[in-house]
Amino acid sequence: MKPFTALTIAGSDSGGGAGIQADLKTFEEWEVYGMSVLTSLTAQNTTGVQGVHHVPAFFIETQLTAIEEDLPVDVIKTGMIATLETAKMIGTWIARQNIPYVCDPVMVSASGYPLMEEETRAALSEYLFPYATVITPNIPEAETLLEMEISTERDMEEAAQRLVKEFGAGGALVKGGHLDGEAVDVLYDGEEVRMYREDKILTENTHGTGCTYASAIAANLAMKRTLSGAVEQAKPFITEAIRYSFDIGSGKGPTNHWAYRKEREQ
């Protein structure tokens, strides 16, 4: 049996709620075999990030080479990429692959800790976005990338279209969790704008939502779904993960990666 496979290139979360840990848990829930390349190590828990150690670029490349030489990869997902050197190297590697790629431009942790160097933000658009099947910024990330204010659904549509047209990505999903009202996400695939709506869950336990959502999209792309189909599957997955999130720790608890499966089994 040859399973569908997914490679996540991202940072590690010692608290288990975000980063590599969230990505691999999500892949498992979709029965996609997960592989990982670590870009950074973080010391963090539900209250925030206490420290970060960036893996040297040469060793990140060594990890990528080890996978490329032996294991098949159906989809790539990137998360925390902290330095300019790392962004350039990973972008060069991804450019050689001819498979779907989900880029989650992780800039700041949920607790407000900066997770990339200032110069790396510009590097994302140059070295990573042009190869992405989809990029998945939340509203603050999209505002930073585009230097625009986003306060309405129409602003989100404009942002998604600009991210594709100005940065060369195949598609852009602007996540609207920071707006009041429904949890609305806007996808532009280069041709059409689509809206994805779910009830907004009022909870502080949202640690890891961005990583989990992007990984669910990646898993569905690995399973050969279209981009719009992948987002359509991933949206209820992350909604249930938030709805049944875990009230553990003394800060923002993590999402529940198996909630969607349990709901379907009932």
Answer yes or no: are the C-beta atoms of 214 and 104 closer than 8 Å.
Answer: yes
209 is catalytic: yes
Q: Catalytic residue, from 77, 175, 235, 252: name it.
A: 175
Q: Is 175 a catalytic residue?
A: yes
Query: Catalytic one among 11, 208, 235, 255?
Result: 208
Decide if 46 is catalytic: no
Is 203 considered catalytic here?
no
211 assigned to active site: yes
Among residues 26, 120, 136, 206, which one is catalytic?
A: 206
**Residue 156 and residue 146 in contact, taking contact as beta carbons nearer than 8 Å:** no
Q: Which of the following is catalytic: 8, 19, 78, 211?
A: 211
208 catalytically annotated: yes
As annotated, the active-site residues are 175, 206, 208-211
